[in-house]
């Protein structure tokens, strides 16, 4: 059953629950991560080898073995086979097709008085992509992060990923890296991997930015290292909100709700609709479809705790609810869904119509699946090319033009009590 979420004219209670699904970082986790970071800063590769043995069972004795060889990458490509490589190449093409429009250009402005000003856009020099390892592997994560980074002009893009006792990186990750043109893959993960690329060791160089998902220790380490390096975001559990009218197909609505609910027990799946009848039909479909899904226990827990249905009077009110909650994924299953775009203010990624389901965006629509969660779509955006560039502004002023500004600049500086600033202008016009 889908709980009826009664907002009674206020969405605050729903929003609070929606935003606070992220597990609190316990003091123990935070202290552990800080200790690991300090150890890696102090002892470098020696600390990394210790943690790889302790946490992952990777009994490494030589830091050189952190580095994945070219032959290992080629072997991974061979293992996955040509059809999976074809799928990865198709995904790459789709991502390039979308993200190439985000590429920004440097610009210059030349004025008649000789003043020149502008902005230089440059890709970041060094970026590390964290890719989870173990039983759950996400080659799509490689694609979603690597393609915009490459389009931005990132010079050195590396992967860090944990391995188990056999010391082997999952072949699907190796294949995705190969397709994206990533040649440097380091066999280290967890908080220690984040610390390694944040501060550098003799074997693993430090980077300027760390992107990619991970468990609570990885997320905490990224947060603790922010400022030393940049990070993408601190993401929370996944979520989907579906706005549907009375003509929506309940089979599709149910399937799409469960596609996100299966992520984990903290995932959120909410239906906002004008039709009580649709909710009843969706419930029937949920009962039918869930039986065929291996992760049905997780799905049921997610729906019970963080799912539900909100009945509204009209579609405009449905989007008022959606804009307030600012979901990570927003599906619009209405007549003429494209016409609803002007009503949408806050959403990480928007899926319009019956044949653009959210899982298409997870893999191959071309849009990015690294998205803001927990209502942060009100001020954060999907990962894009713009996350891998920096902007430097510049200006050039001839002396005769500066002379027309000098008095105002000096007065401004004196007003703020910064006499040295004023002096910096004034000395340029002292008689020699």
- State the catalytic residues: 328-329
Cβ–Cβ < 8 Å for 244, 273: yes
Alpha-helical (H) ranges within 330-415 are 358-363, 399-415
Nearest to 230 by CA among 387, 343, 103, 13: 387
57-92 as b/e, with b when 16 or more CB fall inside 10 Å?
ebebeebebbebeeebbeebbeebeeebbebbeebb
Two tokens at 213? 């998902």
* Count of C-beta atoms within a 10 Å radius of residue 41: 16
Cβ–Cβ < 8 Å for 152, 116: no
Q: What are phi and psi of 206, to 5 degrees?
A: -75, 155
Q: Which residue's structure tokens are 């430090």?
A: 206
- Do the bridges between strand 239-244 and strand 268-273 make them parallel or antiparallel, or are there none, so unpaired? parallel
Reduced to 3 states (helix: H, G, I; strand: E, B; else coil), residue 232 is: coil
Cβ–Cβ < 8 Å for 176, 142: yes
CA distance linking residue 58 with residue 9, whole number of Å? 55
Q: Which are the contacts of 379, defined by CB distance < 8 A and separation ≥ 6?
A: 372
What stretch of H or E contains 314?
Answer: none
Calculate the alpha carbon distances from 125 to 11, 193, 291 in Å: 43, 19, 49
Q: Which residue's structure tokens are 């039918």?
A: 288
């Amino acid at each position: 059953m889908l709980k009826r979420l009664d907002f009674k004219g206020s969405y605050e209670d729903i929003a609070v629950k929606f935003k606070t699904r992220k597990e609190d970082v316990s003091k123990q986790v935070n202290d552990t991560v800080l200790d690991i970071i300090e150890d890696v800063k102090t002892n470098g590769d020696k600390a990394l080898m210790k943690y790889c043995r302790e946490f992952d069972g990777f009994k490494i004795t030589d830091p050189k073995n952190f580095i994945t060889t070219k032959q290992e990458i080629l072997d991974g490509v061979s293992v996955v086979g040509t059809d999976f490589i074809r799928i990865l190449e198709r995904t790459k093409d789709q991502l390039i097709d979308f993200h190439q429009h985000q590429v920004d250009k440097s610009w210059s402005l030349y004025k008649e008085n000789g003043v020149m000003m502008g902005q230089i856009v440059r890709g970041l020099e060094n970026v590390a992509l964290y890719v989870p390892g173990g039983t759950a592997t996400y080659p799509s994560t490689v694609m979603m992060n690597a393609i915009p980074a490459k389009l931005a002009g990132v010079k050195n893009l590396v992967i860090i990923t944990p391995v188990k006792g056999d010391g082997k990186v999952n072949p699907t990750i190796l294949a995705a890296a190969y397709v994206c043109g990533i040649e440097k893959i380091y066999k280290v993960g967890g908080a220690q991997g984040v610390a390694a690329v944040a501060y550098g060791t003799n074997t693993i160089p430090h980077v300027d930015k760390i992107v990619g998902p991970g468990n609570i220790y990885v997320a905490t380490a990224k947060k603790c290292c922010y400022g030393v390096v940049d990070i993408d975001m601190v993401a929370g559990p996944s979520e989907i909100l579906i706005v549907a009218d009375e003509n929506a197909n309940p089979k599709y609505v149910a399937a799409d709700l469960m596609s996100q609910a299966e992520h984990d027990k903290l995932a959120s799946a909410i239906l906002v609709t004008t039709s009580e009848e649709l909710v009843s039909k969706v419930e029937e479909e949920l009962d039918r479809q869930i039986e065929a899904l291996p992760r049905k226990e997780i799905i049921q827990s997610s729906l019970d705790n963080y799912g539900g249905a909100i009945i509204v009077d009209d579609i405009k009110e449905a989007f008022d609810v959606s804009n307030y909650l600012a979901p990570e994924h927003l599906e619009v299953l209405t007549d003429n869904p494209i016409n609803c775009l002007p009503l949408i203010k806050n959403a990480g990624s928007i899926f319009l119509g019956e044949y653009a389901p959210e899982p298409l965006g997870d893999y191959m629509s071309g849009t990015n699946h690294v998205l803001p969660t927990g209502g942060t779509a009100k001020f954060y955006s999907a990962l894009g090319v713009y996350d891998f560039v920096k902007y430097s502004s510049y200006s050039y002023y001839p002396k005769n033009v500066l002379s027309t500004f000098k008095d105002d600049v000096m007065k401004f500086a004196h007003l703020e009590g910064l006499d040295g600033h004023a002096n910096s202008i004034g000395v340029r016009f002292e008689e020699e």
